[in-house]
Amino acid sequence: MSKSDIRHLQIADYLIAQIKKGTYRIGDKLPSEHELCDKFQANHHIVRTAVARLINMGWITAHQGKGAFVISRPEVFPYQLSARTGFSENLKEKAVPHRGQLLHHDRRHPTQQECRYLNLETHEFIYDLRIKRFINETPVSLSKTIICEKDIPNLENYLTNFKSLYKILSDHYRISPVRTKSIVQAILPNLEDVLMLQLPENVPLVQIRSFANHPNGHPFEYTLSKMRSDTCHYVIDF
């Protein structure tokens, strides 16, 4: 049996084609799962996995009790990946409501890997920040940032009423980190990501691991971020 014979993939493919063709337009309600079962002479399960595929691919959303609707694609925001910009800097030029929420912060010794990344000794200290970011009050990304403590003593003092990390670094330390390298992957969210970002279980995320230097040139910051790419695209200008 070939993949192309698989019933739920066929059904998903057919529904996507219908949406592309305009049979179902943006905002339209799809037939109910019950109706789709009749139409395709298939089981509830099969129809559901097909529908789930459309949800994960970003074609539709479903709401219990209401139905499944072709997505009115929210505006997609370009997120510039460059040597100099952070999340807020990127969006504030545009008139986009956005914010960062500090989930957790910690001052601790670095792990061995973090020592390699930031060129530190294990007895030194780092700050470990977990940040959740929103656009239009929709959660779009989770990130974990590790920064050398010696460059930014007493960071804790500035973390109340957190808004933007790069703003704190700029306002209180006059540091504007310089991104040197980013590694890009596509991943599926783990259970924590699913809960934190209120995602369907199989929506793909862009994961970026970035390294940034202190303006004076030494390794300063390591960030791992995971972002939904249905609301935000990374853009690189060369």
Partner DNA sequence: CAGTGGTCTAGACCACTAC
Partner DNA sequence: TAGTGGTCTAGACCACTGT
Binding site for a copy of itself (CB under 8 A): 2-4, 9, 12-13, 16, 45, 53, 56-57, 78, 81-83, 178-188, 190-191, 194-195, 201-202, 204-206, 229, 233-238
Beta carbons within 10 angstroms of residue 78's beta carbon: 12
Binding at 190: pick from a copy of itself, DNA, none (beta carbon under 5-8 Å per type): a copy of itself
Measured from the CB atom, the residue of 13 and 33 that comes closer to DNA is 33
What is d(CA 138, CA 199) in angstroms, rounded to the nearest whole number? 11
What is d(CA 200, CA 57) in angstroms, rounded to the nearest whole number? 10
Binding at 236: pick from a copy of itself, DNA, none (beta carbon under 5-8 Å per type): a copy of itself
Interface residue with DNA among 14, 26, 39, 44 (CB under 7 A) is: 44
Does 181 contact DNA by CB under 7 A? no
Measured from the CB atom, the residue of 46 and 199 that comes closer to DNA is 46
CA 148 remoteness from chain centre: 24
Does 30 contact DNA by CB under 7 A? yes
Does 120 contact DNA by CB under 7 A? no
Beta carbons within 10 angstroms of residue 211's beta carbon: 18
Give me the residues paired with residue 102 across strands.
131
Q: Under 8 Å CB-to-CB from 93, ≥6 apart: which residues?
A: none
Going from the C-alpha of 144 to that of each of 15, 43, 210, 221, 227, the distances in angstroms are 38, 43, 11, 10, 12
Phi, psi of 70 (to 5 degrees): -65, 130
Contacting range for DNA; rule: CB under 7 A; set: 3-11, 108-116, 206-214, 228-236: 3-11
Binding at 181: pick from DNA, a copy of itself, none (beta carbon under 5-8 Å per type): a copy of itself
Interface residue with DNA among 12, 15, 19, 68 (CB under 7 A) is: 68
Question: Quick one: which of 151, 162, 154 has its CA closest to 213?
Answer: 151
Chain contacts with DNA (rule: CB under 7 A): 1, 3, 5-8, 30, 32-35, 41-46, 48, 51, 62-68
